[in-house]
């Protein structure tokens, strides 16, 4: 099949490469000339394990190509996937300007039937706006061309996106046309061989499903963070509590790890957007508002622990920081807890010595060269002369460190662990002051 994808960012590029991998001919359209030229040279603008090889292999076979020309894109594919960004507006609602701009571009160049697929995460009712935009643009052209609009939300985890696409848990297809549903089934047939994963439904339900999924996962995280903070007050260990409730199959172990807050491109934006959507229809979504409030407060927990440990005397100190990305296996720092921590430390006059396996270039792009930030290619080098170590991303390389080296390199053997990577009793026995999230009273060296 022939597929056109508008947007060559995280969702668009993964979708395009995976669809090409199973034999489709995919054309990716973007408005950024530099990005298109880089992609044509085989350079991937994002970090996602395995994506560079997948793009290179399918580009070499001719099944995956890139262009700046929307007219070429409209001519190419029966399926017109919209996979552009929907950043939050100032009020938290999703900005649909990029989505609707693509809809207009499709309508400007459309001469025969096309299936317009909303892959971007968009609020309920967006398909209606896309349909109206295309209809109005066609009318202005004096043209009558048949088309359908489909909601086909993505459920990709950064760091595991290729596997998620190739082996999906579910494929949500929202459409009001049974014929279009069958065409979407045919497109996704290679990913649907073991059992039927396609769930066809009305468009608005499909749009809400994406937001509902992310809001539910974010709720579980914020709930566990609330319990973790309570556990500290009660002298309980949240790790034991997590194991106790996770063993209940009605709850499960997924997304019940407490920490220093969630970030990334999805959860913060989508929870805010869904809460904003609720307000627009006169519904007060108290739980959604609380989920976001808890998360914002949780991002401040590590700084509060650092400030308390040093009795507020932070000016002129140095903190080693392990982890910059919002989660492992990505260079994404959008809404990352590391940013909240670093900015608070800088405001307090602290110098940060940081390391991340892949996100340091992104950190430099965000913050530039700063006298109070030094980035190190090796995580152990970041320790030298620091007053304490803070951990905000659970990269595997941080899970079993050389604690003797950490103790020797730091001025004082102090660790602030925002991801509960280590066993408190073990750290206590080695003479560390160890501060985790929800693991009872802080252990003093």
Residue 402's CB is within 10 A of a number of other CB atoms, namely 11
Structure-block tokens of residue 15? 């979708």
Do 346 and 316 meet the contact criterion of CB atoms below 8 Å apart?
Answer: no
- Residue 166 · residue 15 · CB < 8 Å: no
Q: In whole angstroms, give the CA distance from residue 154 to residue 157.
A: 9
Phi and psi angles of residue 184, each rounded to the nearest 5 degrees, phi first: -65, -40
Given 28, 260, 266, 363, the catalytic residue: 266
Edge to edge, the sheet with strand 318-322 lists 373-375, 351-355, 318-322, 388-391, 414-417, 433-435
Bridge partners of residue 211, in order along the sequence: none
Question: Are 257 and 251 in contact, with CB atoms under 8 Å apart?
Answer: no
Residues 112 and 186: their CA atoms lie apart, in Å, by: 20
The residue among 7, 6, 11 whose CA lies nearest residue 266 is: 11
Other Cβ atoms less than 10 A from the Cβ of 252: the count is 12
Q: Which tokens hold the place of 25?
A: 């001919």
Could you confirm whether 363 is annotated as catalytic? no
Strand, helix or coil at 389?
strand
For residues 320 and 367, what is the distance between their CA atoms, to the nearest angstrom? 17
Q: Is the Cα dihedral 325, 374, 369, 299 positive or negative?
A: positive
User: Phi and psi at residue 275, in whole multiples of 5°?
Assistant: -65, -40
Instruction: Return the active site residues.
Output: 266
């Amino acid at each position: 099949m022939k597929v056109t994808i508008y947007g060559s960012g995280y969702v668009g590029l993964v979708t395009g490469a995976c669809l090409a991998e199973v034999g489709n001919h995919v054309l990716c359209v973007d408005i950024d000339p530099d990005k298109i030229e880089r992609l044509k040279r085989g350079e991937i603008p994002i970090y996602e394990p395995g994506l560079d090889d997948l793009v290179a292999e399918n580009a070499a076979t001719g099944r995956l190509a890139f262009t700046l020309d929307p007219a070429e894109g409209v001519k190419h594919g029966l399926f017109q996937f919209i996979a552009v960004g929907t950043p939050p507006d100032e009020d938290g609602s999703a900005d649909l300007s990029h989505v609707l701009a693509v809809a207009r571009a499709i309508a400007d160049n459309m001469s025969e039937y096309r299936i317009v697929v909303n892959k971007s995460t968009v609020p309920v009712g967006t398909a209606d706006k896309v349909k109206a935009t295309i209809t109005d643009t066609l009318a202005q052209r004096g043209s009558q061309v048949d088309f359908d609009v489909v909601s086909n939300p993505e459920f990709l985890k950064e760091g595991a996106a290729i596997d998620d696409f190739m082996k999906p848990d579910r494929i949500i297809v929202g459409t009001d046309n049974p014929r279009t549903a069958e065409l979407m089934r045919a497109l996704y047939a290679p990913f649907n061989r073991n059992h039927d994963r396609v769930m066809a439904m009305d468009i608005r339900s499909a749009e809400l499903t994406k937001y509902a999924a992310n809001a539910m996962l974010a709720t579980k995280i914020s709930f566990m963070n609330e319990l973790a903070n309570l556990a500290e007050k009660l002298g309980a260990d949240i790790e034991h509590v997590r194991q106790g409730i996770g063993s209940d199959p009605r709850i499960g172990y997924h997304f019940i790890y407490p920490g220093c807050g969630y970030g990334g491109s999805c959860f913060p934006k989508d929870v805010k957007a869904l809460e904003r959507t609720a307000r627009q229809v006169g519904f007060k979504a108290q739980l959604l508002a609380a989920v976001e409030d808890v998360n914002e407060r949780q991002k401040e927990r590590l700084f509060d622990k650092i400030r308390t440990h040093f009795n507020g005397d932070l000016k002129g100190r140095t903190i080693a920081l392990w982890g910059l990305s919002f989660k492992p296996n990505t260079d994404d720092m959008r809404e990352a807890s590391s940013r909240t921590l670093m900015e608070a430390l800088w405001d307090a006059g602290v110098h940060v010595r940081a390391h991340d396996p892949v996100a340091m270039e992104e950190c430099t792009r965000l913050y530039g060269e700063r006298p109070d930030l030094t980035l190190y290619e090796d995580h152990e080098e970041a320790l030298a002369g620091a007053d304490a170590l803070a951990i905000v991303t659970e990269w595997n390389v941080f899970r079993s460190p050389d604690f003797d080296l950490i103790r020797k390199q730091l001025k004082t053997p102090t660790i602030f662990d925002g991801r509960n990577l280590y066993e408190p009793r073990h750290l206590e026995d080695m003479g560390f002051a160890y501060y985790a999230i929800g693991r009872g009273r802080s252990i003093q060296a």
